[in-house]
A and B are shown apart, each in its own frame.
Chain A
Amino acid sequence: MSITGGKTISGAVQALTFSRRATIIGGLQASIGVLLAGRMAYISVAENERYQLLSESNRVNLTLVPPRRGWLIDRNGKPIANNKTDFRVDLIPDRMRDKDKTVATLAQLLSLDEEEIDRINKELEQATSFQPVQVATGLDWESFAAVSVRLPDLPGVSPRQGFSRFYPTGAAVGHLVGYVGIASAEDYKENPDPILVTPGYKIGKDGIEKTFEDRLQGKPGAKRVEVTARGKIVRELDSRPDIPGKAMQMTLDIDLQEYAARRLGPESGSVVVMDCETGDILAMTSMPSFDPNSFSDGIGQTEYGMLRDDDHVPLRDKSLKGLFPPGSTIKPMVGLAFLEAGLSPDEAVNCNGGLRVGNRRFRCWNRRGHGRVDMAKGIYQSCDVYFYHFAQKIGMNPIALMANRLGLGQEFPLPVTNQFYGTVPDPQWKMKKFDKSWQAFDTVNATIGQGYMLANPLQLAVMSARIATGKKLMPHLLLGGKRKPVETLNIEPEHMAYIHEAMSQVVNGGGTARRARLPLDDVKLAGKTGTAQVVNLDFGRGGKDVAWKFRDHGLFVCFAPVDNPRYAAAVVIEHGGGSGSAYPVARDVMTFLYDREKAMSVLTDLEKSWGGTINERMDKKMTAYRAKIAIEKAIAEGRITPEGAVATGDTANPEMGQ
C-alpha cells in the first residue's frame, strides 16, 4: 500500500478513531462483565435460599407410605376388614410422556382386558395431574417385576408394594361396613394433603369405613430418596414407618352376619339380629349387596352397571335405608298399647272376614273369618278385624305413642352414614303433612302396619327387642366405650307376659308361623308374621303368582328364648310374596345362634338349589350380564339381528329374567 500525504492524515485519523472505538468496545465488554457478575451474585446470594430449596426438591423425592388401615374385628376378634399385601401399578398422569404407548405397554405386560383399558383411559382423561390412576392391583410377583424392570421406558408408571383392604366375607358386610377408594378431586380440594394423592392410599367411602375414617386411617410413613431427573432412585436418605390405624371392634358376630347374608339367598331383603341384654347388633345384613372388595379395587364399568340396573337394588342398604310398611308385625306393639289404654285382653270381637269402616269394607286377610277373636288370637292368628275394631275405640294417639316408645319412627345414634327413619302417623302428623284431618280408616290402616306406617328393618328389630325385654334397648355397632345404662320402658309385667305368650303361640301354638319353630329342644321362639301389601290389587293378595315388583313384602319379627329373651331379630323380604318368605330365614338365623352345624346343613342344601354361594352366584350373574352387554353392543353395531339375539340371550342368561 502506498501512503500519500493526504492519506497519512486520514490514516492518522483512522488510527485515532480505532483507539477511541476500541476503548468503547472495551468499556462495553467490561460493563457486560460487571452485569454478569452482578446477575450471578443476585442469583446465588439474594435468591440463594429459594434456589437451594428448589434444588433440594429436585434432588429429594419424598414418597409417602400409605398407612395400613385399622382392622375391623367382630365381637370375637375375627376380622371383618383387614389388609393384605398387594403388588399394584398406578399411573401419575403428570409425569407421563406418551400416554397411549404407556397404556398399551402396560396392557401387554399385565394382560389387561379391553374394559380395563377403557377405564384407565377414561380416568386418565378425567384425572387432574396429581391424581393417581390405578392400573392394576393384586398382581403376582412376575407381572409386578415385569413392569418394574421396564420403568426407565415408562415415565409416570408407579409400581408399588403396599397393602390393600380386604373384606373376608365380601358382600355380606358391603352395606354396613362400606368400602374404601381413591380420594376424589373434591376431597383433595378440601384437604390438599399429599397423602391423598399417593398411589395406594384409600379413604373410607361409605359405611363404617367412612364414619370412622379418622380412627382407621392411621399416620402415613415417609421415605426420602435421592432421585435423578429420570426418576431413578440413587439412594434412600431416611424413612419413617407408617403408624397403622387403630383396630375397631364391632358388635357384629361376623359368622352370624355371613350366615344371614347367605341365608337370604336370591331374595332381596334384610336381617337384623340384636342382643337383648346390651342392644348390640349381632348381624345387620342387606342383600343383594355389592362386594366391597371390588369397590375398593376400583370397580369396573360393567360390574357397576350390573349393580345399578338390578331391580333388587344391591346398592341400597335395606336395613337402614329400606322403608317398608311393617304390616302385622306391629300387632304385638298395638296390643301393648291397647293393654295400657285399659283394654282387657279377653274382650273379643267376632271376625267374619271383614269390617265396614265408614263406607268401605276392610277385609281381614282370612276371608272366611276367624270367628271369636280376643287379643291373643288377634296376634297369633293375626286377625285384622280385631285390630280394626279396637283401634277405632282406643284411637290413634296411644298406638303412635307406643310405636315411638318401641323404636318405630326413631333415628338411633349409630355410626352410619345415613338412616331413613320412616313414619309413625298420627292426626297431628297428617294435618301437618297433608293438611287433612285424621279419618277412622287411617287408624284402621295404621293399626295393621299399612297406609302411612313405614319402618326400616333395624327399627323392627329394636321393637322386637324392646317388646322382649321391656327395656329401652338402644342398638349399638361398636363394642367398648361408655354406654348409658339401659332404661326401662315401664310396661306392666303382666302385659308383657300376655303379649309374649301370644307371640309364642304364633310359632309354637296355633299361629301363623308354625313352620318357624326352632329345631331345638330347649329354645322356643316367639314371633309375629307380617305381610305388607305393596299395591292394592284387585285380584287379591300379591303372592308368588304376580310380577315380582307387585308381590307383598314378607316380614317377621321374633325373639328367643321366650321365657328369658336373649336375642331379637327382624327379617324383611322385599316382595317375598308374604310372611312365608321371611320366617324360615328368621328360624334358621336364630338356630345358627344355638346350633351352627344344624343351621349350616340347612343352608348348604338351599344354596345347592339356588346355584351356589353368594360369590358363585354373583360371578354367574356378572358373566351373564357381560354376555347381555356384548349382544346389545353387537345389535347396536348391526353385527347380529335382534331376533337372532333373543334366543342367544336367553340361553346365555337364564337368571336375568327373575
Chain B
Amino acid sequence: MNDFIPAPIAQLPWKTILLLLVMASFGFVVLYSAAGGSLTPWAGLHMVRFLVFLTMAIIFSRLKENFWKTIAFPVYIVVVIMLLGVELIGAVGGGSQRWLNLGFIRIQPSELMKPAIILAVARFYDLLPAGQIRTWGAIWPLLALLAFPCALILLQPDLGTTITVVAGAMTVAFLAGLPMRLFVGGAAAIAVIAPLAFFFGLEEYQQRRVTTFLNPENDPLGAGYHISQSKIAIGSGGVFGKGFLNGTQSHLDYLPEGHTDFVFATMAEEWGLMGGVAVLFGFFLLFRWGLGVAMRAKTRFSQLAAAGLSTTIFFYVAINLMMVMGLAPVVGIPLPFLSHGGSSMMTIMICIGILMAIDRHPGRRSGTFG
C-alpha cells in the first residue's frame, strides 16, 4: 500500500476515521428523516460540520505531546476568561446566555471547558511529583481548577455541563492515583446526602422535577412530557423499528428535540433495537479505542489526557442515553455524532483530535517524539 499512497495519507488512523465517518453518516441519515426526508435544515449542515471538524481533528493529530502540554494551562485560563465574558455580557445585555459571539463564530465556552479542564488537570498531575499524590497538595489545586469554571457555568445556569466538567476532572484525578478511599468515601457521602438534600434542601418545585423523572407518566403533559414521548418513540420502534422515514413520534412533532438531545429516540423509532445496538456498538469501539490510546501512551500526561478525553465523550453518551431512556432527569446533553449541533460536535472532535495526536505520538520515556 505504501507504494501507491503518499506516506502522510497512509499514516492517517483510517480505522478510527472510518468509525467516525460511519457514525456521523448514520447521524446524517437520522437527521435527514427527522426533517421529514430533507437535507435541510439539519442533515446537510451536520455532515458539512462533521467534515470540517474532522479536518480540524486530523490537523490536531499532527501536533505533538509537548504542544498540548504547553497550551494546557493557557487554554484553561483563556476559556475561564471567556466564561467570565459570557457572564458579563449577559449581565450588561440583560438576560443570561451561554454564547459568546466573536463576530465570525459563536462559541459556547462551557463546551470548550470540557477538554480544557481535562488537559489542565492532566497537566497538573503530570507536574505533581509522584510522592505527593497521596497528600493534601494533590487535592486542593484540583479543587481550585474546578472552582472557577464550575461557578461560572452554574451561573448560566447549566447543571448538565457542570456535572460533565466535574466528572471529567474527577476521572483524571482518579486515574492519577488519588487515594481510593476519597472516591469510595465521596460516593458514600453523596449516597447519604442526596436523600437528605432532596427532602430538606430542595424547594417543592425542584422535588417535583426529580419525582417527575422517577415517574414521568404522572405528569405526561408537563415536565415528564419529554421522557414519556422519548420512551414511547423507543418502545414503539420494537426490534426492527418502523422503518426509515416512517417514524410518527418524530414526524408528527410528539417527540420534542428529536434532532438534538432526543435524536436517539428518533433513530430508535425508525431503526428499532437493532439500530440502538449498532449505535451502542459504535460507541463501544470508540471508547475501546480511546482507552486503548491511553493504555498505550507512554507518558503520564498522555495517559491521563487520553483517558480523560475519552471519558468526557463517554459522559456525553452515557448521560444522553440514560436521559432518553428515562434513567436520568432531562439535562441538555446531546448525543455525539448523531445530534445536530455545532458546539458539542466541536468539543467532541477536539477530544478526538487530541486522542488521535496521542495515538500517533504515544511518547517515549525520554520525552522525544517521532
- What residues of A have a CB within 8 angstroms of the CB of B321 in the complex? 36
B145 contacts A by Cβ under 8 Å:
no
Stretch from A47-55, A198-206, A274-282 at the B interface:
A47-55
Q: Which stretch, A10-18, A255-263, A334-342, touches the partner chain B?
A: A10-18
Give A211-233 as 1s and 0s: 1 = Cβ < 8 Å from B's Cβ atoms.
00000000000000011111000
Cα of A52 to Cα of B233 in the assembled complex, Å: 8
Is A300 engaged at the interface, CB distance under 8 Å to the other chain?
Answer: no
Shortest CB-to-CB span from B53 to chain A, Å, is 23
CB-CB under 8 A from A544, the residues of chain B are: none
A18-B303, A40-B273 as given contacts; A10 in contact with B131, CB under 8 Å:
yes
Q: B304's closest neighbor in chain A, by CB?
A: A18
- B130 contact set on A, CB distance < 8 A: 7, 10-11, 13-14
Say which residue of B127, B252, B283 sits within 8 Å of A33 (CB atoms): B283
| B225-239 interface code vs A (CB 8 A; 1 in, 0 out) | 000010111111111
CA distance A138 to B248 in the complex (A): 37
Do A58 and B254 form a contact, CB below 8 Å, given A25-B291, A44-B239, A44-B273?
Answer: yes
A19–B174 Cα distance when bound, in Å, is 11
B252 touches A44 (CB 8 A): no
Asked, given contacts A21-B177, A22-B175, A40-B273, whether A48 binds B294 with beta carbons under 8 Å apart, the answer is: no
Residue contact B174 to A40, C-beta cutoff 8 Å: no
- Decide if B363 is an interface residue (CB 8 Å cutoff): no
Residues in A neighbouring B234, C-beta threshold 8 A: 40, 43-44, 51
- Contacts known (A44-B268, A52-B235); A17 close to B177, Cβ less than 8 A: yes
* B311: A residues at CB distance < 8 A: 25, 29
Q: B49 contacts the other chain (Cβ, under 8 Å)?
A: no
Bound together, the chains give a CA A48 to CA B233 distance in angstroms of 10
- Interface pair A47/B129, CB less than 8 Å apart: no
State the CA gap A22–B304 with chains docked (Å): 9
By beta carbon, the residue of chain A nearest B318 is: A32
B262 within 8 A of A: no
Chain A residues within an 8 Å CB radius of B339: none
Interface residues of A in 356-383 (CB under 8 A from B): none
C-alpha spacing A35/B287, complex, angstroms: 16
Which interface residue of B232, B284, B291 has the most chain A CB atoms within 10 A? B232
Number of A-B residue pairs having CB atoms within 8 Å of each other in the complex: 139
Judge whether A656 is part of the interface by a CB distance below 8 angstroms: no
Judge if B276 is at the interface, Cβ distance under 8 Å: yes
Using known A-B contacts A54-B232, A59-B248, A234-B252, determine if residue A45 contacts B318 with beta carbons closer than 8 Å. no
Residues B284-298 near A (CB distance < 8 A): 284, 287-288, 291, 294-295
Asked if B124 is at the interface (CB within 8 A of a chain A CB), the reply is no
- Say yes or no: A45 contacts B273, CB within 8 Å: yes
Interface residues on A, range: 35 or more
Query: How many angstroms between the C-alpha atoms of A45 and B284 in the bound complex?
Result: 22
Closest chain A residue to B237 by CB distance?
Answer: A44
Q: Please tell me if the beta carbons of B276 and A22 are within 8 angstroms of each other in the complex.
A: no
Per the bound structure, the CA–CA distance linking A58 and B229 in Å amounts to 9
Distance in angstroms between the alpha carbons of A110 and B76 in the assembled complex: 62
B287 to chain A: which residues have CB within 8 Å?
26, 29
Q: Does B171 have its Cβ within 8 Å of any Cβ on chain A?
A: yes
Which residues of chain A come closer than 8 Å to B303, judged between CB atoms? 15, 18, 22
B33 within 8 A of A: no
B236 and A54 form a contact (CB under 8 A): yes
Q: How far is the CA of A50 from the CA of B176 in the complex (A)?
A: 47
Kindly identify which residue among A1, A25, A30, A56 contacts B307, using a CB–CB cutoff of 8 Å: A25
Residues on B with beta carbons closer than 8 Å to the beta carbon of A54? 232, 235-236
Q: Which residues of B contact A50 (CB under 8 A)?
A: 235
Check: A37 CB closer than 8 A to any chain B CB: yes
Q: Does B99 contact A (CB under 8 A)?
A: no
B238 CB → nearest A CB, Å: 5
**From B130, B303, B314, B326, residue with most partner A Cβ within 10 Å:** B130
What 8 A-B pairs come out closest when comparing CB atoms?
A: A51-B235, A55-B236, A10-B130, A229-B253, A17-B177, A59-B248, A228-B252, A51-B236
Q: List 13 A-B contacts (CB under 8 A).
A: A7-B129, A15-B300, A17-B177, A22-B294, A29-B291, A29-B314, A32-B318, A36-B280, A36-B318, A36-B321, A40-B276, A58-B229, A58-B254
Binding site for B on A (CB under 8 A): 1, 6-7, 10-11, 13-15, 17-19, 21-22, 25-26, 29-30, 32-33, 35-37, 39-41, 43-45, 47-48, 50-52, 54-56, 58-59, 226-230, 234
Other than the known A18-B176, A29-B291, A59-B248, what 6 A-B pairs have Cβ atoms closer than 8 Å? A7-B129, A14-B177, A25-B311, A40-B280, A41-B273, A51-B231
